[in-house]
Amino acid sequence: MSMKVLRRSLPLAIFVVVLGFLFAGLFRDPREVPSPLIGKPAPAFSLAQLHRPERTLTPGDMRGRVWLLNVWASWCVSCRVEHPLLLDLAKANIVPVIGLAYKDKPADGLAWLASNGNPYTVSIVDRDGRVGIDFGVYGVPETFVIDKAGVIRYKQIGPLTADALQQTILPLVHELQRS
């Protein structure tokens, strides 16, 4: 009797399981590809600073500090969406934010920051996008959380949101700063 019930309900059970998978799939963003760089040291680079082109910045310069690397560009429309959040973050002075001007003309980047406000501790210029490729950037804006040892801990693909900042990024930054 119980065997029969089991056999009868098997198709329904399979259906429910498949439905569960499909339902969960509805809430996942296929554009967000998990980065293989999480938990790995930030790729080495030495890039000219946007405001002082004669000086460079390397990840080694940030050693001992938790920092954010924000990949942006003056041609990037959704960068405008996250920009107020970055300005607030800069005002709160919680964590240094390095801006990586990705495939942007320095003059355009400077003009954009002058008119929209500059939230960056330092801005660097990745003119040909090579460093972007090393960081696996494919959807500007992107934001990386990098710890004191220079290891990438988190990557936000697409514009920062207040939710992502308050619930994920800042708690992680605080935790990393304590350690």
Partner 1 sequence: MTRYRLAVALLAVALLAASTAWADDALEARLKSLETQLRCLVCQNQTLAESNAPLAEDLRHEVRELAVSGKSDDEIRGYLVARYGDFVLYKPPIKPTTYLLWFGPFLLLACGVIVWFSVLRRRAKTNATGTAAPSAAAARARAVLDE
Interface residue list for partner 1 (CB under 8 A): 30-31, 33-37, 103, 128-129, 133-136, 138-139
Is the Cβ of residue 84 or residue 129 nearer to partner 1 in the bound state? 129
| Token pair for 9 | 């309900």
Is the Cβ of residue 13 or residue 33 nearer to partner 1 in the bound state? 33
Is the Cβ of residue 103 or residue 105 nearer to partner 1 in the bound state? 103
CA-based nearest residue to 146, from 32, 50, 70, 72: 70
Q: How far is the CB of 84 from partner 1 (least distance, A)?
A: 26
Is the Cβ of residue 95 or residue 146 nearer to partner 1 in the bound state? 146
| R_g of the chain, CA atoms, integer Å | 21
Question: In sequence order, what are the beta bridge partners of 70?
Answer: 99, 143
Contact between residue 102 and residue 126 where contact means Cβ atoms under 8 Å apart: yes
Q: How far is the CB of 105 from partner 1 (least distance, A)?
A: 14
What lies within 8 Å, CB to CB, of 32 at 6+ separation is 157, 158
Establish whether the linkage from the previous residue to 141 is cis, with ω within 30° of 0: yes
Handedness of CA 92, 94, 96, 100 (dihedral sign): negative
Q: How far is the CB of 133 from partner 1 (least distance, A)?
A: 6
Is the Cβ of residue 95 or residue 143 nearer to partner 1 in the bound state? 143
Q: How far is the CB of 33 from partner 1 (least distance, A)?
A: 5
**Do β-strands 142-146 and 152-157 pair in parallel, antiparallel, or remain unpaired?**
antiparallel
In the chain, what is the greatest distance between 2 CA atoms, to the nearest angstrom?
83
Q: How far is the CB of 60 from partner 1 (least distance, A)?
A: 20
Is the Cβ of residue 30 or residue 93 nearer to partner 1 in the bound state? 30
Q: How far is the CB of 43 from partner 1 (least distance, A)?
A: 8
